[in-house]
Chains A and B, each alone.
Chain A
Amino acid sequence: MSPLTNMTAMQKLYLIVPMAPLVGAMIAGLAGWALSRRAAHVVTIFFMLVCLGGSIAVFWDVMQGHGFNGNLYTWMSSGNVNFVVGFLIDPLSATMMMVVSFVSLMVHIYTIGYMHEDPGYKRFFSYISLFTFAMLMLVMSNNFLQLFFGWEAVGLVSYLLIGFWYTRPTAIYANLKAFLVNRVGDFGFLLGIALIFMYFGTLDYINVFSHAKTLSGNTIEIIPGLTWSLMSVICILLFIGAMGKSAQFPLHVWLPDSMEGPTPISALIHAATMVTAGIFMVARMSPLFELSDTALSFVMVIGAITAFFMALIATVQYDIKRVVAYSTLSQLGYMTMALGASAYSAAVFHLFTHAFFKAVLFLGAGSVIMAMHHEQDMRKMGGLAKYLPITYVTMFIAAIANAGLPPFAGFFSKDTIIEALKVSTLPVSGLAYTLALGGVLAGGFYSFRIIFYAFHGKERFADPQDPAVLACEAERAHDEAHAAAHGHDEDHGHGHSNKPHESPWVVCLPLILLAIPAIASGWVIGQFVFGDYFSDSIYVDHRHPALEILKEEFHGVIPMIVGAFTALPFWLAITGGGIAYYLYILRPDLPAVWRARWGIVVTVLMEKYGLDRFNQWFFAGGARCLGQAFWRGGDVLLIDGLLVNGSARVVGWFSRFVRRFQSGYIYNYAFAMLFGIVVLLSITLWTLLP
């Protein structure tokens, strides 16, 4: 335990970085009633500036080769083990701190514009500041307990924010679903932590990592007769946690629904930061994952499935936020595949670039939604480019980055991942490579589809008789007939007489500031992935040389860009973009025809492979059925009905029976006596006689 007075200036700074947003959150949340709206955002943004400044200073310090691993206070001790709260500051956590505090600050500023009419304005600022605190505690942790703390705390804030508009049935359905699906992941995660605690006797990262090798040969027999490698079991359990938080198949189902929350948090929590916590966690645990090829293969397969199949869903969605959401899922799949290929730094690099361009896509989508008076369906947009020039340009940049085209940020990170899969030695890497390429094709298509569909072509919002608009209205009427609830704002659907207009500067400024790294942040790849940037914070075993091989082939940013033009991923992404151009600009009549022709495929994709229905039926319905069976059958019928009240009834019957003998008539008693004497005598004689 290090008292505040003994801390160095740098250590105080470590503390200030997460505490500043917490203070902001508490002021805006608990004293919100005494603050004006303006005061609420001034206070929280001020503390976010402090936080970002601190993060930059810490980052700079870490770049000088300094680091820190120490405990803040003992949370509790049990037996002879101390559970602590503490910080581990190294290049990995410093990078995450930068990303989190920068994107968070941008989202704080953006919120001023986006939420300015909302009655929950102050509450919203309080939540996003609280989120920033929790996320920072997560990435700065030096032990598994605090990791779990941050892990669940960001889940809590995500729950509160998805359900921010708590009167909407879809929002409160989505937030419950998000929390529960995440809890399924956390269930595995907690078991993994418990196994670590059992075998290592500590939850401190550095202690665990340094002893990991000695336990790599251990086996564990969970199911009698089957021996598994301990490390594989631990890593897969931990990864199940990551599957929940980072929305990997089949625990991804909560993320698309989380779009019910206000758009700023979709950008901050459900794209840039929280959902990458799982990626960060696995990268942090690289010394453990490196010991198990089984776990790495599992990670890679899950990532590949997510990357490809979610990208396919993104190609058919109409809701602009949902397209971006499925795109996020797909990109998270790429990061996960990279982890499986032991290209941890590439995964974190993609996390880094993705945070910027995906934040732009979401915030841009939010800007469009505002301009369209809370209309999210792309069928009712079109031709927006001239009304929203800044949004258009920044989103175009982000879409190119998302598609992975050079020289934008996404290209460097995504391409490195695909190359790493190509050279990976794991048996499943061939499959992963193929799916990754398929994802690139779909990614090129859906990225440009957003741009061409929403910003170019006919201004469908001005024409209520357009077939696409009519189809959209018909679908909505159909949905509303089936479920009284609907997910969109109440004020949609009226023909807007006024033209859409560009959003205020508080919305555009974050877009521009985030678009810059969406272009340029990829150029640091030389240091970030192939250099010594992460030094000791990521460990790669020599058996997994994917990145080593790529490093030898890497000769700088320009040769990498030049090389891309002759590589498959580039042309796949271009093809995807070309198809989007053909379908939505050259032949806007075709999409409807194609959809009709490929009816089954489109239905499967629109139904998200039926997973939601299955979960709803099997897990939610099954649990309720079991609960009813246990309650009605077990508690009410068996225990209470038969045993408890049953024994009372037996006592009742017995006494009613016995009461008959107490009739009060002398002759009854006399007869009983006589009868008794006869019986006793007979028994006596019977036994006495030889």
Chain B
Amino acid sequence: MYALPLLSLSIWIPIGFGLLVLASGNERNAGFVRILALVGALLGFLVTLPIYDGFSVATHGFQYVEEREWIDTFNSSYHLGVDGISLLLVLLNSFTTVIVVIAGWEVIQKRVSQYMAAFLILSGLLNGVFCSLDGLLFYVFFEATLIPMFIIIGVWGGPNRVYASVKFFLYTLLGSLLSLVALMYLYFAAGNSFSLQDIYDTPLALGPQIFIFLAFFMAFAVKVPMWPVHTWLPDAHVEAPTGGSVVLAAIMLKLGGYGFLRLSLQIVPDASHALSGMMIFLSLVAVVYIGLVALVQTDMKKLIAYSSISHMGFVTLGLFLFNAQGLEGSVLQMISHGFVSGALFLCVGVLYDRMHSRQIADYGGVVNSMPVFATFFMLFAMANAGLPGTSGFVGEFIVIMGAMQANFWYAFAAATSLIFGAAYTLWMYKRVVFGAVANEHVAQLKDINLREFLILGLLAVAVLLMGLWPNPFAELIHTSVTDLLAHVMHSKLPMP
């Protein structure tokens, strides 16, 4: 075991560097600021590697647990720990931070230090959410992540950024306020404790469970986002700068899925069972309805945003099937979606940086002037369409296997994404990349440079690795999923 408080480091190194970047930045030293930010991001990623290395896949419960006094008045403590699921998300987040820092390298020329600082701080806060074992701490991190993202969209966003960022903020804030009420109820029910373990162990009658479930639902369903509270996402994505979209899609949406599995499923298992029909229905609506909506989008970013919602439908579907395949598939889908949607937003960013348009109609025949880019884009498009051998297949396949065990029609509806996913992704690819050169702007496009090659290459390796050999990822979460499943199947209703 490592003596260093590694989890705290994974949270506070990025935040510390973020503050440092913010303090040292001015109008003239953009170059220095970028390097400092990259160092911070890399250190933040490197510090997660020993966590992975020392993590024992066979051990039940949480590892690397840290507990310090925090707010005595509320019996709330600074309590951290990871299981396999949160570890994967921490790794994904720290990896993605490195990518977005590099992705914003030359692209962002305005307020460089603030931009970089926002991403570093956001990265630390997100790690905080995934590591928190205390309800109040979780809530604080969870809410705090809103602020940097609000700023990222509002400052570096597109023309309609103010509407998008306010919509994003209000939507998610309204949802999460209810979860604070639920947490307060649980605090008293658990005998004045915010510790998640205490809350897990507290018996609850079905009535309160349902209310708590619905309160959490408001917070997490908005984040995922689930149909019908998803409409903030396309706007936020369209207006956000590329890096913002990447983090939003790759990590922030996972807060919703993670919230469901860490809080909803374990705190109110009986309500989760009682309302699973609704959850599955909404997830399947997301897969089918949103898949069709994605088909008719004319804006690339909007299309990928809708595709994100559709793919996140698999996450929530898997969580509420209550079988091992469903849960594992759900977690793997979260990770894969992080790689794939992040990569797709980066691809659109590469095009946007050159053409300053997101409209599909402005493109055509990009392959003629950008063959290397077209190859990467093809790989990620295929991953988005769930092609076996890419990470996009793994989660969907396992979730469909799990869904079939619950009900034929669940699997049927989920499997339609095989068709819709391919249709909207490849149709977009055809219109943007294939064909004869559409106009002189396309003819003058320059293929990706080394920096872009590096980030797309890293993600390509991740997508292929996870697609061809997902077992290292799956092994990490086996024990945690088994624990989780045991929790969910164990009724918390008080003994009569």
Contacts and interface: CB of A to CB of B under 8 A. Distances in A.
Contact of A79 (B325, B382, B411): B325
Given A76-B474, A190-B418, A635-B231, A626 B368 contact: no
A172 B401 CA distance: 33
B404 A195 contact: yes
B388 A167 contact: no
Given A183-B418, A187-B418, A197-B404, A627 B435 contact: no
B419 A184 contact: yes
Looking at chain A's contact residues, is the secondary structure mostly helix, strand, loop, or mixed? helix
Contact of B422 (A73, A74, A179, A197): A179
A498 interface: no
A180 B418 CA distance: 9
B325 A172 contact: no
Interface of B: 167, 171, 228, 231-232, 234, 289, 292-297, 323-325, 328-329, 365, 367-368, 382, 387-389, 393-394, 397-398, 400-401, 403-405, 408-409, 411-412, 415-416, 418-420, 422-423, 426-427, 430, 433-436, 468-471, 473-475, 478
Nearest to B170: A648
A635 B296 CA distance: 13
A-B pairs, 5 with minimum CB distance: A79-B324, A194-B404, A627-B296, A627-B292, A172-B434
Interface stretch (A146-154, A255-263, A418-426): A146-154
Contacts of A152: 387-389, 393
Q: In the complex, which of the residues A74, A149, A152, A220 has the most CB atoms of chain B within 10 Å of its own CB atom?
A: A152
A428 B409 CA distance: 30
9 contacts: A77-B474, A152-B387, A152-B388, A166-B433, A184-B419, A194-B401, A628-B296, A630-B289, A631-B293
Interface of A: 73-80, 145, 148-149, 152-153, 156, 159, 163, 166-167, 169, 172-173, 176, 179-180, 183-184, 186-187, 190-191, 194-195, 197-198, 220, 222, 623-624, 626-628, 630-631, 634-635, 639-640, 643-644
Given A77-B478, A78-B329, A630 B292 contact: yes
Contacts of B297: 631
Contacts of B469: 73, 75-76
Contact of B415 (A76, A190, A220, A634): A190
B436 A79 contact: no
A559 B386 CA distance: 53
B401 A197 contact: yes
A489 B397 CA distance: 41
A586 to B, nearest CB: 46
A469 B475 CA distance: 66
B55 to A, nearest CB: 18
B435 A190 contact: no
A76 B398 CA distance: 10
A640 B404 contact: no
A73 B468 CA distance: 11
A159 B422 CA distance: 12
Contacts of A627: 292-296
Contacts of B423: 180, 183, 623
A76 B470 contact: yes
Contacts of B329: 78
A149 B416 contact: no
Given A75-B471, A197-B401, A198-B405, 6 more contacts: A76-B394, A148-B388, A152-B393, A187-B415, A627-B293, A644-B167
Contacts of B426: 159, 176, 179-180
A628 B412 CA distance: 23
Contacts of B365: 167
Given A78-B328, A630-B289, A180 B471 contact: no
A124 to B, nearest CB: 14
Contacts of B404: 191, 194-195, 197-198
Contacts of A630: 289, 292-293
Nearest to B400: A194
A148 B416 CA distance: 16
B336 to A, nearest CB: 12
A330 B389 CA distance: 32
A80 B171 CA distance: 40
Contacts of B416: 187
B24 to A, nearest CB: 40
Q: In the complex, which of the residues B329, B368, B474 has the most CB atoms of chain A within 10 Å of its own CB atom?
A: B474
B474 A186 contact: no
Looking at chain B's contact residues, is the secondary structure mostly helix, strand, loop, or mixed? helix
Contacts of A197: 401, 404
Contacts of A77: 471, 474-475, 478
Q: In the complex, which of the residues A80, A148, A623 has the most CB atoms of chain B within 10 Å of its own CB atom?
A: A623
Contact of B435 (A74, A148, A166): A166
B228 A639 contact: yes
Nearest to A148: B388
A191 B419 contact: no
Contact of A631 (B296, B324, B397, B471): B296
A180 B167 CA distance: 36
A374 B398 CA distance: 47
Nearest to B163: A645
B131 to A, nearest CB: 25
A635 B436 CA distance: 34
A117 B86 CA distance: 54
B389 A149 contact: yes
Contacts of B289: 630, 634
B318 to A, nearest CB: 11
B419 A180 contact: yes
A667 B434 CA distance: 74
A466 B384 CA distance: 52
Given A77-B471, A78-B324, A626-B292, A167 B419 contact: no
A581 to B, nearest CB: 44
Contact of B418 (A76, A153, A186): A186
B340 to A, nearest CB: 16
Given A149-B389, A163-B434, A197-B401, A79 B328 contact: yes
Given A78-B324, A627-B296, A644-B231, A190 B400 contact: yes
A421 to B, nearest CB: 33
B329 to A, nearest CB: 7
Contacts of A644: 167, 171, 231-232
A75 B388 CA distance: 12
A78 B434 contact: no
B470 A75 contact: yes
A79 B470 CA distance: 14
B419 A183 contact: yes
B435 A167 contact: yes
B160 to A, nearest CB: 13
Nearest to B408: A222
Q: In the complex, which of the residues A152, A186, A624, A627 has the most CB atoms of chain B within 10 Å of its own CB atom?
A: A627
Contacts of B388: 148-149, 152-153
Q: In the complex, which of the residues A79, A149, A176 has the most CB atoms of chain B within 10 Å of its own CB atom?
A: A79
Nearest to B475: A77
A169 B478 contact: no
Nearest to B407: A222
Contacts of A180: 419, 422-423, 426
B471 A639 contact: no
A156 B387 contact: yes
A122 to B, nearest CB: 12
Given A77-B474, A630-B289, A634-B289, A176 B430 contact: yes
A522 B365 CA distance: 47
Contacts of A222: 408-409
B291 to A, nearest CB: 8
Contacts of B408: 191, 195, 220, 222
B478 to A, nearest CB: 7
A627 B424 CA distance: 11
Contacts of A640: 231
Contacts of B400: 190, 194
Contact of A187 (B325, B419, B435): B419
A184 B422 CA distance: 10
